Amino acid sequence: MTMFDLDEILKSRRDTRHFTDDEVPDSVIEKALQAGHWAPSVGLTDATKYYLIKSTEIKKAIKELFLDYDKKATNQTDNEQQKSQYQALKLEAIEEASLGLVICYDRSVLNNFTIGTVGSNEAIKFSAVCAAQNIWLSLTEQGYSMGWVSILNYYEFKKLLGLPENIEPLGYFCVGKPATNYENQPMLQQLNWKQKLEKPFVEEISKLHLNNEVTPVELGGKMVTDFDLSEALQYKINNKTKPAGSLGMLEVLAKQIGMVFQTLEPKIIQPNMVIFAADHGIANHGVSAYPQDVTRQMVINFLEGGAAINVFCKQHNIQLSIVDSGVNYDFSTNTNLISAKIAKGTQSFLHGAAMSATELDLCFAKGSKIVKAIAETGSNCIGFGEMGIGNTSTASVLMSVILGLPIEDCVGKGTGVDDEKLLFKNEILRKVIENYKGSDDLDSKLAYFGGFEIFQMAGGMIEAYNNNMLILVDGFICSIAFLIAFKKNPGIIQNAIFCHQSAEQAHMKLLNYLNAKSILNLNLRLGEGTGCAVAFPIIQSAVAFLNEMASFESAGVSKK
């Protein structure tokens, strides 16, 4: 046979849908199946199996299976013209073809590896596909052909044929003498459904992709690039040695982190926690259980390593930074404190604006600068915490005016006020909102009702998103900062992990608005970023299982 003859056979091979009444001689099918047997077989496992169907009764039952599934395929479109065109196609010849062939692969061979090889469920499937192609070419050379029917419920198909659990069919193949050559082109091309490209896609890859870039890898029988990374991550998660979905929230986190870092093997590098501290003029009106000076005292406690957040960051090896965003105190210049002071606390918004428009802009700029410096160290994960007596009142008012909710839906006990003081807090904040006569745009409301540390966090979160960092959001007040960042750049939600649901009653409403789910619900209401630090090991566990847990294939474990 000349190479020209082989080319002609390759070009004339068709997925045939129209057959004559001619029988397929035994010698023809034997020669074709021998050609299939000569196909590549991974590890010489001989996993490909063939079943012949000549029974009219079985063919009829298989056709009914096809028609049931075909009806579902038809209903996938609401376009009546497209539906009509699809129904007019002859998609099978199960009863018309004189012979039926079921090409299968046997998963049980994976329990008997050839020495020196590693078994792969996908590779033995590919061996069976190679066999199918050889059979097709042999039939074509002998003047016969084949049609591949894959529109089937495979579970029902196996049950109908009595196939063992370990035998997996590629589909049902109609074999016979072709009634037409479809004008020497594929039927869908002949009917102008789709034209086959004249030349194959070929591209040389000459650059090695590193630094978390996703290089094409084989998953589930296809080459995966960052274009379909979401599907690849889900495939990787689903094929770990566990029932699908059994790791719950960890699976959601693993996929999210993989998408943020654009890789199938994400790593968290140099995690940082940043606490922004500032005072609030509204605290002077008795809305908190603690005096304003506690802000200063707690900042010193942070610097001396005595607060809860210090303990948790040390426990989980998280770098901790403390920022003076606007505390009503002059700290010593030789302390390990990031100075980003806007002023010594905001003004009381009971009587006027908390800050100026210039101070608002400065907050965003300073918060951005702090996070940018952290990102430049190589960190790709940052948690946000806060400290500021009175800042739950500020956060509640911001939530009310941004989302248009009654103040009662946005106010909680904060640092722990009693019921009587909570009523007072509600009344004074309602009065604050009623007194507002400013513009309706977001920035005007932010400047009037805001807090320095809240806006520095918002600016920092936006910068973290711009640097493709994981953003760990603490409780209610940090979530208000995130709400502001989200209003300015909605894409930021992709990078955010909400670490806990605060005991503040408004926090759940806010999470629902953001369509977000928190990792923990421990009745925390301390702030300081403690929820982020406590949740961090769970985030690490999500990364660890994605990167280190065995797959069904690598462990040789059967899926079902």
Query: Looking at the DSSP assignment, which residues form a beta bridge with residue 172?
Result: 102, 149
CA distance 51 to 33: 11
CA distance 535 to 521: 10
Residues 475 and 508: beta-carbon distance below 8 Å: no
CA distance 248 to 381: 22
- The CA–CA distances, whole Å, from 190 to 136, 144, 183, 245, 420 equal 20, 20, 7, 44, 81
**CA-wise closest residue to 59 among 149, 119, 192, 122:** 149
CA distance 392 to 66: 62
Residues 503 and 536: beta-carbon distance below 8 Å: no
- Tokens found for residue 467: 């640097």
Residues 327 and 341: beta-carbon distance below 8 Å: yes
The pairing of beta strand 338-339 with beta strand 381-387: unpaired
Q: How crowded is residue 466: how many other Cβ atoms within 10 Å of its Cβ?
A: 15
CA distance 62 to 389: 73
Of 213, 528, 548, 553, the catalytic one is 528
**Strand order across the beta sheet in which 496-498 lies:** 338-339, 319-326, 272-278, 381-387, 470-473, 496-498
| CA 191 to mean position of chain CA atoms | 39
- The CA–CA distances, whole Å, from 46 to 329, 469, 557 equal 79, 48, 20
Q: Sign of dihedral through CA atoms 193, 199, 200, 201? A: negative
Q: Can 528 be counted among the known catalytic residues?
A: yes
Phi, psi of 39 (to 5 degrees): -65, 160
Residues 233 and 214: beta-carbon distance below 8 Å: no
Q: Quote the DSSP letter at residue 282.
A: G
Catalytic residues: 528
